[in-house]
Structures are given as C-alpha cells and as structure tokens.
Structure 1
C-alpha cells in the first residue's frame, strides 16, 4: 500500500497516478481546512482514502511525500524507523515512466530555476521538439511522464532531490548554490548534497564555473561542461564581448559557436545571462542548433516579479524582484543597478545577510525594511553600511507596502532605483512572493497617480 503525505498539487497528482495503476492509496494530511476537505472529496471519487492527522497507516510499504514535509516530520520519522521507503513525487514519476518515455533535461539551483527552465523549454520548442516545463515549475512530473512529449524540461528543488535516488536525466545542471532552506535541510552541507544528487546519474553534467559550490559538485564527473560570464575556455559556454558562445558542444573545442547576443536575454541582468547560458548548455547537450537557442531566448517571456520594471516616478525607477526570496537572489538583483534604495525583509529561513550587505554597501542610497526578520538586516546594515539611511516599517497588514513605498520615495533621488529584492520569504505578511510583488506594484502606481 502507498501512503501519500500531503494534499498539495504533487500529492494529489501522485495519489491519482497510483490509483490509476491499480494501487491501494491512502493520503495523510496534517491540515484540516476547507481546501483540504474539498480536495479529499475529489479524491474520494477515485476511491482514494484521505486521513486527517494520525501516524503511518498500517500496511504502508512506500511513502510518497510532499516536498514541503521535512525529514523531521513525525510521519516520515516513523516510516524511517519502520523500514518503510520514503520517496517523492519526482522519484515516483521516474520509476513509473512508460516504455519509450521522453528523456529529462533537469536543472536545479538556489536561484534562477524557473527562468532557466522556461528558457530551455523555449529553445527546445524553437528546435521543433514537443517540450514541456515540469516539476517545481508547476506541472507535476508524475502527470507529464504519461503524456507523449519528446523531452521534459524538469525544474527540481532541493526538497524534491532529497527524496530522489534513481533519477538519470539525459543532462543536468546546477545553476548556483547559496544558503537557503537551512531550516529544512539542517545545514549548508546537507542542502548542497541534495542539489548535487541531480548529477549522480546524469548523461551530461553542466555546472556554473563562476559558482564555487556548483563547480565543486561537478568536479567528480569527467567531461562536465561549465558556463561562465567570462570568455570561455574549451569545454565551456560563456560571453565574448556581447555574444553568448559555445565551446563545449561544437564537436571541436578549438571552435566557438555564436548562440545569441546579450540583447536577446530578457530581462537583462548578469544573473539572467547565467540562466541563459545554463539553459543553452542543456539544450546543446540535447542537440539543439545555435539558431534555435537564439530563437528560444527571443521567444521567452519572463515570469512576473523577476526584476520587473513597474514605473518611473519623479526620475526614480521602481523595480519588483519579489522572487528574490533569499540573500543570494537579492545580491544578484542588487548587482544589476548602480544606485539603489533597497526594500528588504521577510523570513530569512536561517540564512545570513552580512555578506550580502557588505557586497552591496557601495550601491545603497537607502534601505526600507519590513517583515519578521527586518532587525537582522538592520543590524547587518549598521555593521557594514553605517552611513546608509534606514527606515523601518512596522505592521503585518498588506497595506504596509504603501508605507514602504512612501519611505522609499523619500529616500530616493532622480537616477536611483527603488528595488524590491527582499532576501526573505513573504509568508510573514503576504500569501506568497507574488502577492508581495503585486502589493508593491499597486503601491507604486498609487504613488504615481496624480
């Protein structure tokens, strides 16, 4: 019997897939709410039992867990103590692939995963492939493997990789690794170890030569292909003047093939160029020609809340990068602008911000702080940027953004950028990073209104 832990998107998809294959399935859900009850009613029609609370159901042989459940969850601890295997929905999908199933091109990283997987999908489609982005990007993998696609572009989180043991993608990339989700993994070492699992059985290994942890994870694999924002050595992709070039998949390492220009990368920022190079490396590993790489980048439509320009008010640009939910992402965002009033705060999830503030100090013209962990950012600013004026905005109501934007406008001068790059998660005040970004954009538009 399979026990599915959690009534989230992946849990529901896993339960339905197992039931269709004739397995007995019980779903265990810890939250007894209106949404969960509605989901349970939908599963009952498929003969799937849902239990709210309680321990490991008797007769369980495999637990399929939600990415949100940490290994310390009592049900998972009980399963481990009982010798019951625990896997994730991604591992279930890999094991359940039908004969002739589409190959996987997989990528992970602390930041940039969704952008890179969208770019990769666009490149594959430009080359004529029936490709779909799946995994952490939204569509459950267990659903996609049963569909007749040519290739799957698979975004994988560290949570999903932690519960995966047999994945063998045709090619895999680690974009970057920096402190995040340490509250879930317990340590930076365990977090990095989870990311590195994507390489273990990959046909082609792709790593970020500019990121020490990504490079270290790839070091044991002969023939790994690196990408860099510098001029690439043989076996790497990189940047030459305003061109993205390939010296890894040309068939002749002495040659460099032009893939695209910097203008083809939207929105333009150094970290987004790295995302484009990672996507290009995976596409090239799959045989995508240079012209399709460029066409895919031009066709790519950026997702919301990723360095999105909201408005210019009184000579000041307002930019929404609410997706910068950890210090590494915020650092990349801050590096894209020379003079910034920084809007930051939220839930830091155990991550440190001193290095972020130290590196960004010369760009900061002011900072506006909100959210649960704002004091930690204020303290880092006092240590490393003591001359930067700081405004703190209290309150847990969503209307806090109007006060934030008012304070940012007070600190900003023409030519500055007011940048929402919070370095923390949003759930202390907002439903998610999207809601946070939307509130910021609405507040900016109200500021701009006559």
Structure 2
C-alpha cells in the first residue's frame, strides 16, 4: 500500500533533501509515474542528484504542470497559502507532503514529536533509548534523515520530529504515541496567529493511539482527543518528579526511576524533555532500564547549548539551534555563570516580539551584541547592547573584552537565513571562529 493508486502525474514542489527523498521514493514505486520537479530557486540544492528522467523547472512556477497533476507533493518550506498552490487546490488537485507519503507506506510502529522547542532533543533522545534497548531505530523527519529515505532500511521503530509545516500537509499518520512539547511564538510570518500555529501542531494527534502533553503548558493538551492520554511536568503526576532521599527523581505515577541529577543533559528544561522522552519510549515498548541508561549517557545535539571552546577561563557556547524566543529563554534560564555573559543575538526574527527577554536579561551581568537583519530589535533589551553587522564582528568584540569566568554565548533567538543557509552552518561558523578567537582572549580576573 503506497497511497498512489490512480496517480500518474506527480509534481514535486521544492527540491533539496526533502524533494530528493520524495523523488527517490516515487521512483521506487511500481507502475509508470511521470515525475516532475519545480523550484522557485534558480539553482536549487540537489539538482545535480536529480535523475535525468525527472524534469526540472527552476526559477519560478510552472502552472501547467500543477494544474495537470494528479498529485502535488509540496516541501514544508512552501506554504499552502501560496497563490499557486491555492489555485491547484481549488482545481481539485490533492496536495500532500513527504510525511503523508511516509504515512501511506510505513508498516512499522512510529512515534512523533512536535513543539516550538526541544523537539530535536526529545526525538534524538528517544532514538538513543531505543538503540540502547537493541532496537533497529530510524530517527528523522525534521531532523537528520528525511523520513522517506528511512523506509528502505526497514527499521523496527521510527521516531519522527515533525514541524508545523510538515503537519499542515499530513492527514493519515498513524502513531503509537505523539508528543506536543510546548507552544511559544514562532513562524508568525507564516501563521495568522498563535492559535493558528498551534492548530497546525495539534494535527499530530489526529491518528495517535496515545497523546502526550505538557502539564506546565496547557496549550499542548488536545481539546477533544478520544484516545488514551498522559502528560509530563514538574509535579508528581504521570511522568513527573518526586523527592527521594532529599533529591529530585524522575518518576512515573510516583514510582521513582532515577535521580534527575544523573541526566547527562544540562538545564532544567532538559528534565522536562527527558520525561517526555520516557513517555514516548514506554509507549513504544522500549525497556525502562535501557531508557534510563540512555538518559545517563546522552549529552545532546550539536548546536544546542554546546560548549565548543574554553581557554583562560572563558567558555564559548554554541546555541545556534535557538531559532526563536522560547529556545533562547530556555538557554538563559538554565545558565550557571560567575562572570559576564557576552550574548550574541540576531538574524531573521520571523516577525517575533522579543520584549519578553528584557526581564530575563535584567538581573544578569550581560553584554549584548546585536547583529544581522533584525539586530535592531534587540537593542532595547539591555543598556549594554551594541549593534554590529555580522556574527563574526560580534564574536571579535566579545573576545576582545572577555575575561576569566565569562561566557560567550551564541543564542540568536532568530532564524539564520539572512546570513547563513541554516542554523547548522551558523553554528559551524561560530565553532570555527571560536577555535581561533579563544586565543585572543586576554583572560585574567
């Protein structure tokens, strides 16, 4: 069953990693499928890997292709509100995404995670728990591997990170368990309101056997879910915390599992992430002891509160994954610092309001370096704020004034697309510069 019965003409909108995974999946299907790809970019990434049998139109739209298609597969970055896709939908043409194609083809259990922040960490952590238990697990979606590319590996279990963009074009994904971690303002340049953004994320529960929500963020609770539900949070209910021997322990229904202090991940927000991961792993049948071993070992993702250099008492921390306000707030709340925080912020703000950062920064000894397209938006947040053009300039100025006990933290609260192709490239650039600039720090108290 591949969900392509009666389909002859398929148009893939958007190339890159996702588009290529769609093309390769379609080419593996039986029957004669005519596959065409269009991308509004003149030189879309992945065009050199596109088979010669697949037609490519780049640099704009080709409406004849869309209106003659039996099925359109749109990449997550292309909004359904785009006029060309609206016209195709009005003409009665089905529009799906790669996750919907995955849903129609997968035959093994799947768990999935969405939320404004933390979903990459939770997705990776559940994958590590499954590996520790000896399962052949595929981890991907909005992180790592494209979902369709993993189907050829015939995994025992699939763990998917799903963005709101991916969920918009997904309608039949059956899940053993689905988790909605948290909700905060993000992608307001694509959604009409926070409620509209949340509704897209709520689609993750549509065909889930178990819904997992965050007790400390009631907006994540599905209002009309008919299946089983559980939750995680910082109290003693369900997946939560209990006190034992004078310390906090992770617990399930008040049964203590392990001390919270033994989690390898840093920061209180990662206690919540660990509880969510435990709930998903339990639903997937992962051995509890193996899950706890993974919690003690797993140190997190690159680009997420990652210590990348330390010299003369100055720490350089890469949090390039902080592409929105809430992610930066989580990083700041988990800080332990004796000296000055040199905080690098800026990029593409995606229409967000950053004023919530001001009271968080107020008690800190902070110097704020504001760069990129929306750097101006951060200047009112601290008296110490200065404006620079690039991240490299910000790093150089921070290095010149840093001393022992200080931290130079990249936690931009913005997308990277004004100066970098993605947050990984931004983080890699930070790491490379930190390796050089750390030796220009004077040090000393």
Is TM (by shorter chain) over 0.5? Answer: yes
CA 1:335–1:239 in structure 2 vs 1: closer, same or farther (change >3 Å)? farther
Separation in 1, partners of 2:57, 2:322: 36
* Alpha-carbon offset, residue 31 of structure 1: 1.9
* Alpha-carbon offset, residue 78 of structure 1: 1.9
Does structure 2 conserve the Cα–Cα contact (< 8 Å) formed by 1:169 and 1:203? yes
* Alpha-carbon offset, residue 409 of structure 1: 4.0
* Alpha-carbon offset, residue 143 of structure 1: 2.7
Separation in 2, partners of 1:174, 1:64: 25
Separation in 2, partners of 1:414, 1:94: 52
Instruction: Give the match for residue 74 of structure 1.
Output: 83
Question: Which stretch of structure 1 is more off in the superposition, 341-350 or 302-311?
Answer: 302-311
Separation in 1, partners of 2:403, 2:298: 33
**Aligned with 1:4 (options 12, 30, 37):** 12
**Matching of residue 15 in structure 1 with residue 23 in structure 2:** yes
**Matching of residue 94 in structure 1 with residue 103 in structure 2:** yes
- 1:188-219 Cα deviation digits (max 9, x unpaired): 2211011111012210111111123213x367
* Alpha-carbon offset, residue 411 of structure 1: 5.4
**Aligned with 1:389 (options 384, 388, 394):** 384
* Alpha-carbon offset, residue 293 of structure 1: 1.0
Instruction: Give the match for residue 322 of structure 2.
Output: 324
Instruction: Give the match for residue 232 of structure 2.
Output: 227
Unaligned 5+ runs, structure 1: 248-254
Does structure 2 conserve the Cα–Cα contact (< 8 Å) formed by 1:108 and 1:175? yes
Unaligned 5+ runs, structure 2: 1-8, 441-445
Instruction: Give the match for residue 305 of structure 1.
Output: 303
**Aligned with 1:267 (options 249, 257, 265):** 265
* Alpha-carbon offset, residue 406 of structure 1: 3.4
**Matching of residue 29 in structure 1 with residue 19 in structure 2:** no
Question: Which stretch of structure 1 is more off in the superposition, 218-227 or 160-169?
Answer: 218-227
Does structure 2 conserve the Cα–Cα contact (< 8 Å) formed by 1:331 and 1:360? no
Instruction: Give the match for residue 354 of structure 1.
Output: 355
Instruction: Give the match for residue 73 of structure 2.
Output: 64
* Alpha-carbon offset, residue 109 of structure 1: 1.1
Q: How many residues align?
A: 421
Q: Secondary structure at the match of 2:414?
A: coil
**Structure 2 length normalisation: TM-score?**
0.88
* Alpha-carbon offset, residue 298 of structure 1: 3.4
CA 1:218–1:112 in structure 2 vs 1: closer, same or farther (change >3 Å)? farther
- 1:61-114 Cα deviation digits (max 9, x unpaired): 2111101111232331221121111110100111123xxx11111111111112
Separation in 2, partners of 1:360, 1:214: 27
Question: After superposition, where does 1:339-378 map in structure 2 within 5 Å?
Answer: 339=337, 340-378=341-379
Question: Which stretch of structure 1 is more off in the superposition, 349-358 or 293-302?
Answer: 293-302
CA 1:13–1:431 in structure 2 vs 1: closer, same or farther (change >3 Å)? closer
**Aligned with 1:154 (options 141, 149, 160):** 160
RMSD over aligned Cα atoms: 2.2
**Aligned with 1:128 (options 129, 134, 138):** 134
Instruction: Give the match for residue 252 of structure 1.
Output: none
